[in-house]
A = this chain, B = another copy of it.
């Protein structure tokens, strides 16, 4: 057979190899802790290639984040679209909305052990470095999904004021991110009562908790400012 080097088209894509290696290393150690040398060594490309393709380390970080978060947010919007179409103008059930937020993350994490690590760690970074890293690119992506889910939740929970919907959506995201990033801590603290690697159980519990929180009695309103 005429097996030439051109037989591996994916391996020739230096850019992709850099993104793959960076994704892994960022997930393992965080953005700051990883050097371009580590990335290019693992990717088996030259050090200078990073600056050639991404301009700087910061540019690489943004592209890695976008590549992970983009598909998740797309799937979220898609699930919400389907739910709203099916509801035919009526409000979508709270649990269904929540599933559209959470499920795509679980799906991404279940693609591989590596994906699980990446999503977890990147979620953690997003929590603490929301302002500094990802200057705008990511902001807009999140803004779109936030607006859509906010509108859907407002319809499902007409008793809540607009401000309250914002607050509670915020708490919901917090619950999700903390569950994602600190799952190992939870397993550790619980002395075996909470099992690792049971994503479906985690999703169930998360939906139950956040649905309860979203539906909760309003905070006292009569109190004077």
Contact = CB atoms under 8 A, between A and B. Distances in A.
Interface residues of A, number: 58
A109 interface: no
Interface stretch (A13-21, A66-74, A160-168): A160-168
A86 interface: no
A208 B204 contact: no
A32, A161, A181, A189 interface centre (most CB from chain B within 10 Å): A189
Interface of A is mostly: helix
A216 B220 contact: no
Contact of A212 (B167, B177, B184, B217): B217
Interface stretch (A4-12, A37-45, A53-61, A125-133): A125-133
A26 to B, nearest CB: 12
A73 to B, nearest CB: 15
Contact of A216 (B121, B179, B211, B217): B211
Given A127-B181, A170-B186, A209-B213, 16 more contacts: A128-B129, A162-B193, A164-B205, A167-B206, A168-B209, A172-B175, A174-B178, A177-B178, A204-B220, A208-B216, A208-B217, A208-B218, A212-B212, A212-B216, A212-B217, A213-B216
Interface of A: 30, 32-33, 121, 124-125, 127-132, 143, 146, 161-164, 166-168, 170-179, 181-182, 184-186, 189-190, 193-194, 202, 204-220
5 contacts: A162-B193, A172-B175, A174-B176, A208-B217, A215-B216
Q: Which 7 A-B pairs have the closest CB atoms?
A: A212-B216, A174-B178, A124-B128, A213-B213, A171-B175, A209-B213, A204-B219
